[in-house]
Amino acid sequence: MQLEEVLALQAQVLWASFAVCIAFGALARRTDFCTMGAISDIFNMGSWVRMRMWGMAVGVAMIGFYVMAWFGLIYPVESIYSSGRVIWLSAIVGGAMFGFGMVLASGCGSKTLVRIGEGSLKSLVVFFVMGLAASATMRGMTAMLRSNTVDQVAFNIPAGSPVPAWLSAMLGVDPGATGLILGLLVGGGLVAWAVQNPKFRSSGNNLLAGLGVGAVIAVMWWVIGHMAFVAEHPDTLGPAYVGTAGGKMQALSFTSPMARALDYVVFFDGSTPLTLGVVAVIGVVLGSLGYSLYSRSFQWEGFHGTQDTALHIIGAACMGVGGVTAGGCTVGQGLSGLSTLSVTSMIAVMGIMLGAIIGLRLQRWLIMRD
């Protein structure tokens, strides 16, 4: 493939990703899809309805991922979640920091972008602080701390982190068939767990969120894993997934993309290439903004006081550092990573939930103290 053709393909990939992210922003805005809200509903009132929404989204994305893999449209071993080096301490510590932070900052990275589209200036501040903290953890001061401490603790799974990869290697069976069977069983199980609940089924919004967000992740796997694949990139002469920052197969994530979006603005020199993360950030904000204007729910929002400001800034910093340390956020390690059945993603999600519970306990203590 010639360089001009690669550049044309890259533009198509980014436009497609942009369209999918606009849909994600509008969908999350309309349906109140929110990971922090799902955990908070369980913690505060014992309601699992929004967690079922989340579980259904993971299930739909997982089925999509492994069905596409079965038909040879994407290659699971190429995904960023397939590394066999499981940095479990980073996943749990980073995940806990992220989960704690998202409670204080009124939502995770994707929710922050959705809330910016609703008119929240609080979330705009969260975005800047989170992006800066993420950038420092990718290549700055906290990056050194991360790589010299928690990243040193790991174990190796030679066949790769996703369950179908190591299970098929252990049993000596076909990895494609193992992936399809596990994807259908676990993904189908999650969808069944969601829809068997009458309270979940009673609202079309819940079904729309579960199906729609899951489909968004699956479509992103297709866009990046199939459409963006170039067997021989003219620059490297090796395979690449064009439009991504690292040239690897991925779906949606929002922590490092926030840092990349800020970098894009700060270091733009007229020829700086756009990448998936940057268009994802802009797309989600515009999708949410569009729905907010359409539903006449757009509303400017500012900080309530000093404590509110401080908690949001602390939360944003925790999310930036934690999200990069854990290798992704509630969408990156949560929806995208879990859809590949990656062990690292499972550990990171457990960390996020643990951190969120600690954050909710702190919030309850602050309310009780008032």
Partner 1 sequence: MQIDRDVNARGLNCPLPLMKAQKNLAEMQSGQILRVTATDSGSMRDFLTFANESGHEMLEQKNVGKEYIHVMRCR
Give contact residues for partner 1 (rule: CB under 8 A).
32, 34, 36-37, 40-41, 44-47, 49, 106-107, 118, 122, 199, 297, 299, 301-305, 308, 360, 363-364, 367-368
Q: Which residue has the tokens 């953890």?
A: 137
Residue 132 and residue 251: Cα distance in Å, rounded? 22
Nearer to partner 1, 103 or 249 (CB): 103
Nearer to partner 1, 152 or 297 (CB): 297
Give 139 or 199: the residue with its C-beta nearer to partner 1. 199
Least distance to partner 1 from the beta carbon of 45, Å?
Answer: 4
- Shortest gap between Cβ of 114 and partner 1 (angstroms)? 11
Among residues 45 and 266, whose Cβ is nearest to partner 1?
Answer: 45
* Backbone phi and psi for residue 360, each to the nearest 5 degrees, phi listed first: -65, -35
- Contacts of residue 7, defined as CB under 8 A and 6 or more positions apart, other chains included, come to none
User: Which is closer to partner 1, CB of 62 or CB of 104?
Assistant: 104
Q: Strands 155-156 and 240-241: what pairing?
A: unpaired
Cβ at position 189, least distance to partner 1 in Å: 25
Distance, in Å, from the CA atom of 211 to the CA atom of 217, rounded to the nearest integer, reads 10
* Closest alpha carbon to 327 in 350, 343, 315, 344: 344
What Rg value do the Cα atoms of the chain yield, rounded?
A: 20
* Minimum separation from the CB atom of position 277 to partner 1 (A): 25
Crossing angle for the helix pair 141-148 and 306-326, to the nearest 10 degrees: 50
Query: In 62-115, which ranges are E strands?
Result: 85-86
Compute how many other C-beta atoms are within 10 angstroms of the C-beta atom of residue 162.
31
Residue with smaller CB distance to partner 1, 158 or 305 = 305
CB of 364 to partner 1, least distance (A): 6
CB of 296 to partner 1, least distance (A): 11
